[in-house]
Every structure is written in C-alpha cells, then in structure tokens.
C-alpha cells in the first residue's frame, strides 16, 4: 500500500515535470516568426511591429482602423466631433472609400472602412494607404497649437505608432459585434459609461501561459 502511494506520487511528479518541459518549449511569438504572422495576418499597426511586411488589405472585406493620439488626456477629439466628421467625409470621398461607421473617443478614433471595389486591387490599396496618411497629417495639423505647446516638433509624434488596422468580414454576428464595440466607445466618449481598458487577446494568452508555467514550477 505504501509502495503504491509512493509510486503514485512519483508518477504525478513526473507528469508535472513533463508538462513544465512542454511549456518551456513554447516561446513568446515574435514579429519576425511565421507563427506570429499566421496568427496576426489580418492585423497591422498600433503596438504590433510589422515594419518588414505589407499592411494586410482585401477589397472584399471591411477594415477596422484605429488612430490613437500620443497626447492622451491633452487631446479631446470629442469636442471636435463635427469638424472631424467633415474631415473624414472629405478624405473618404477624395480617396474613393466609404466610412461605414465611426466612433470618436477622447484620444482615439475608430473607423470601419469599406475600400473601393471598382478599382484594381493595387490602386485600391494605394488609395487606402493614402487615406491613412492624409487623415493622420490633417489631424496633426488641426491640433498644431497643442502640438507646439507640448514641444512636439514632428507631426508623426502626434500619433502613437502607426494606425492599427484589421480585416473583418461581412458576417452578421461580426458586424453586430463591431457596431456594439463602436457604440461602447461612443458612450464612453459621452460619459455615459466608464472607460474599461482593452486587453489584447495575445497578451491575455501570454499572461495565462506565464501564470500556468509559474504554478507548475512551484509544484515541481
């Protein structure tokens, strides 16, 4: 009986060590690995560092785009809802895009963009990239006074990283989720609900994995 108990404990310990070894083989994905690209092939910009690859684009899909200002609470985009809306309309018309939905929060802007389908792929992609650059530059110029007051000399310092984009489909549930998310941003901007920090799915996975690895390490 005592031997069986000892054997069982040894087996459990070996199993824990085996799981720990398996976890140790899982390395954090890096931007230059194939795993990262396969996982994030529809996303680009923001905190993601994809300088060596092209921004994903597909004329058959919608594009969720996010511009986030570096100036944080010093910028209140919500005070300029109308003028920003007009700027978006003129920029979209200029580059043959459609703004399906938008949410202008205090220091960031969400857009749901439909690229042109009437143009050849390369031309439509080029127009979309021009739209991103044009709108980013015009917004930086619009807030030039605050920009100078805070000592930021280059217009690119107005924004945090590059605009974040991800391709999304036309499915009903997908569009419902996106519109609900945009509505949440609008309610936050209006002060109807309190702001809740967003957690990236990959970051959440890594935190969970690290916690599990630490737990296994403590039990071995």
| 55 closest CA partner among 144, 163, 169, 136 | 163
| Residue 29 pLDDT | 40
Average pLDDT, the chain: 75
Over residues 145-201, the pLDDT tens digits come to 766 766 665 555 778 878 889 999 898 888 998 999 999 989 988 888 777 766 554
| Residue 154 pLDDT | 56
To the question of pTM greater than 0.75 for the whole model, the response is no
Alpha-carbon torsion angle 192, 174, 98, 78, nearest 10: 20
Q: Answer yes or no: CATH 3.30.70.1290 is held by domain 34-204.
A: yes
Which pair of tokens denotes residue 141?
């110029």
Segment 23-36 mean pLDDT: 44
What distance in Å separates the CA atoms of residue 147 and residue 69, rounded to the nearest whole number? 11
What distance in Å separates the CA atoms of residue 23 and residue 21, rounded to the nearest whole number? 5
The sign of the dihedral angle between the CA atoms of 200, 205, 206, 208 is: positive
pLDDT exceeds 50 at position 110: yes
User: Residue ranges of the domains in the chain?
Assistant: 34-204
């Amino acid at each position: 009986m005592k031997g069986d108990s000892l054997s069982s404990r040894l087996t459990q310990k070996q199993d824990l060590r085996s799981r720990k070894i398996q976890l140790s083989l899982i390395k954090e994905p890096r931007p230059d690995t194939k795993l990262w690209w396969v996982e994030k092939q529809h996303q680009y910009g923001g905190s993601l560092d994809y300088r060596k690859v092209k921004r994903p684009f597909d004329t058959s899909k919608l594009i969720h785009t996010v511009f986030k200002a570096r100036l944080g609470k010093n910028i209140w985009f919500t005070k300029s809802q109308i003028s920003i809306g007009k700027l978006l309309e003129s920029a979209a018309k200029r580059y043959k895009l459609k703004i399906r939905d938008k949410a202008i929060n205090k220091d960031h802007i969400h857009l749901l963009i439909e690229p042109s389908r009437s143009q050849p792929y390369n031309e439509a992609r080029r127009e979309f990239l021009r739209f991103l650059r044009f709108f980013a530059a015009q917004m930086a110029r619009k807030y030039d006074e605050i920009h100078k007051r805070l000592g930021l000399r280059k217009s690119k310092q107005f924004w945090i990283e590059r605009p974040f984009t991800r391709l999304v489909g036309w499915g009903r549930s997908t569009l419902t989720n996106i519109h609900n998310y945009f509505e949440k941003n609008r309610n936050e901007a209006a002060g109807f609900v309190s702001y809740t920090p967003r957690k990236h799915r990959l970051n959440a996975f890594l935190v969970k994995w690290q916690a599990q690895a630490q737990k296994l390490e403590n039990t071995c």
